[in-house]
Structure 1
């Protein structure tokens, strides 16, 4: 356990609060689900009364079968079959997901249940807070008012005046406040589901240039079908991750990577074949980053999509699609259910009946070959269907990669701003939060004091499997 003194968080040596998880359950998962269960594959356990499933198979054999299932949705169906199977899938979630990383990948499906809500700062300098969806509140009983609850008693005030950077695969990256007369970049990576919090070694002086783009890459992103760039060994824990920073130098683009296993930043590397992006373009890249087929990370940089290959550190530049409509300027980059690059944008098509502009969301997917955009796009009418008919503006805020859930704000004036979560796959939406008074970001405004620095959050698949048994109390 790290010392309580505040200086510990600013040390060049990262620390984690995971060691205290059993004593102080700060994570959103219950303590008993954080502790690893007895390995069913090693010690066959006796079937508890009421857990009979009608099969003579031992726990060891069943866990092996679960680990070999080709699709994640099959695991969820198995967990829903009976109480015993649910406990095995939940208790051995880390082993099952780690085994899935070693198998050749097939098409995966979006799972909207992974999206739990969004983090935001309600005013400049405030501690980031969390707003859960209705389903997340029911399933997990989220009661964490702010990020400081994850480190309460260890490093109180760690996230005071912090800034949300990005979120992906259950991990949240936060920039910590600067000390007086200090300009070093200090990042913190935390997993709210498990309560793990790690402060990364600071980058100061000439080590980093702002503005920068950031992405979080987990072990899943460094394992693929052909093992052409398998920099992540099979024995690497599923909790290992990398933080990738992309920034501009004079005359070239550069990147730097932090590896959680080593606990340090790697050397600066030059990005090959990259167009030089200015400060405004780099600032526009702050936000969601997606990994397509676990090979290329993409950011939206105004008129193009900037991609970085994970194996060669070569840049890829993709022109934005022509949707055939009048774009309103709201654009997010995402991933389709079959792993293709996709663009989600707000459009204002003209109605042939009323001859008035409407507000809708357009989805355009990259072709299967990856060299062009599909000629047909999908237009989702949201005003009148999910939103009040008097809605005049929509601002896309965040898209969750594995769930396909888009968070956006909408309103009809500058006095109210509502936050919605919409599943692109199911085309269902719900209102997550509302703000009354002050500027709501309407009328084309790009930001809102009430939802400043909004970052969507979805848990990783291991945490999701672990949470399946949370309603199944131990006898």
Structure 2
């Protein structure tokens, strides 16, 4: 029989939701379409046809009040009050989340949904969900191709996830033989939006590269002169090495184009080995994107493209190669490390936060003994991913056979909760944690009305 015809890769941005309104692929939509297992509540209707919640305020006034609430948890409580308030909070989530009072809400653990991984070279990236994500969204290890099924079949074959932040994924698509062009795709699994970016030829960018994705939340905090036109707007920053200098390029979703190559000033020379060791996804704090590699932290200011360099904090112990960058609840750069001491029961997680002035690291803070939260047979541990908005760390626990690995989600709050998310055989492989943005979380609250 003739070979299966592959769909041609689209060279222009497109949205899977807009292109297939009859069968959208976003996780939120899939969850919304699940049949209810209980009867809906009886809602009292007023003479004007509206829902009677006992409040004589219009929808516009209520939404304005919600947008000015000081805490994100207050919004969740309002949505649980009655059906009308839940409809307003979830329906106007994008507007409410852009409120000035919500620029730095406290960590919300349920934002972390799981992680993307590739179980073998050339395979489509798949998703391993936490228990709470499976209950809320019905996720069962879907592959990325499910987002574009019927539109561009096989789009994510042999691809790899290179960045994950604020509900968005950056995926490097497969390259054909003798092709040097870099093809990237930005997608939001929650909503099903998939955008293929214009390719970059071999003369336009070199590998390896590091990237940082910035969303509307970052623009709110940095007060840039060119704010995004919509809450779903984003920018993608690529940093790579040229002969004699460090270069970068920026893609903006509003314009749909890559900007010209620019030079990062005041930076040390970054060789290919250093670039390859850099964390793929940058952490963004106060208009600066940070990566770490080989004992240093590299920052690039987004407005001036000037580099900042700092040494890793001194812990007084010997970290077992376990270091992640993150963001503290008050919006400062932090370093999370596993500090190895004698015996598994003494293996702790330490956090060092950059001072408010930004000129030094505050003393190391030990926040938990991670060894007590893992199986007794654990022989090695490795930090894999730090989720900014939820304060959840994904780490790998290895065993004596050298092949079995279990992935755990560990919260950095006082409760120190841990959960085994997945177990597999083989090496550590590639792992990118995923957490939904706060707008998607508020939208999902409307679905809880029909939960069993």
Contact 1:165 1:286 in 2 (8 A): no
1:291 match: secondary structure = strand
- For the pair 1:30 / 2:29, whether they are aligned, the reply is yes
Q: How many residues align?
A: 432
Structure 1 CA distance for aligned equivalents of residues 20 and 50 of structure 2:
29
Residue 360 (structure 2) aligns with: 372
Instruction: Return 5+ residue gaps in structure 2 as ranges.
Output: 34-47
2:84 match: secondary structure = helix
Structure 2 CA distance for aligned equivalents of residues 288 and 265 of structure 1:
19
Structure 1 CA distance for aligned equivalents of residues 75 and 310 of structure 2:
36
Contact 1:108 1:339 in 2 (8 A): no
Report how far residue 230 of structure 1 moved. Answer: 2.8
Superposition pairs for residues 7-86 of structure 1, below 5 Å? 7-9=8-10, 11=11, 13-30=12-29, 46-48=49-51, 52-86=52-86
Residue 387 (structure 1) aligns with: 374
Instruction: Return 5+ residue gaps in structure 1 as ranges.
Output: 35-44, 440-447
Superposition pairs for residues 63-462 of structure 1, below 5 Å? 63-98=63-98, 100=99, 103=100, 107-143=104-140, 145-224=142-221, 227=223, 229-233=224-228, 236-293=229-286, 295-350=287-342, 358-384=346-372, 386-413=373-400, 414-425=402-413, 426-436=415-425, 439=426, 448=427, 451-462=428-439
Structure 1 CA distance for aligned equivalents of residues 106 and 448 of structure 2:
25
1:94 match: secondary structure = helix
Contact 1:288 1:333 in 2 (8 A): no
Structure 1 CA distance for aligned equivalents of residues 389 and 338 of structure 2:
21
1:470 match: secondary structure = helix
1:469 match: secondary structure = helix
Q: How large is the Cα RMSD of the aligned pairs?
A: 2.2
The superposition leaves residues 207-243 of structure 1 with CA deviations (integer Å, 9 ceiling, x where unpaired) of 0011000111112212237x3x33215xx11111111
User: Which deviates more, 386-395 or 13-22?
Assistant: 13-22
Structure 1 CA distance for aligned equivalents of residues 280 and 387 of structure 2:
11
TM-score by length of 1: 0.86
**Structure 1 consecutive aligned stretches of length 4 or more whose deviation exceeds 6 Å:** 31-34
Report how far residue 430 of structure 1 moved. Answer: 0.4
Structure 2 CA distance for aligned equivalents of residues 79 and 151 of structure 1:
32
Structure 2 CA distance for aligned equivalents of residues 392 and 357 of structure 1:
11
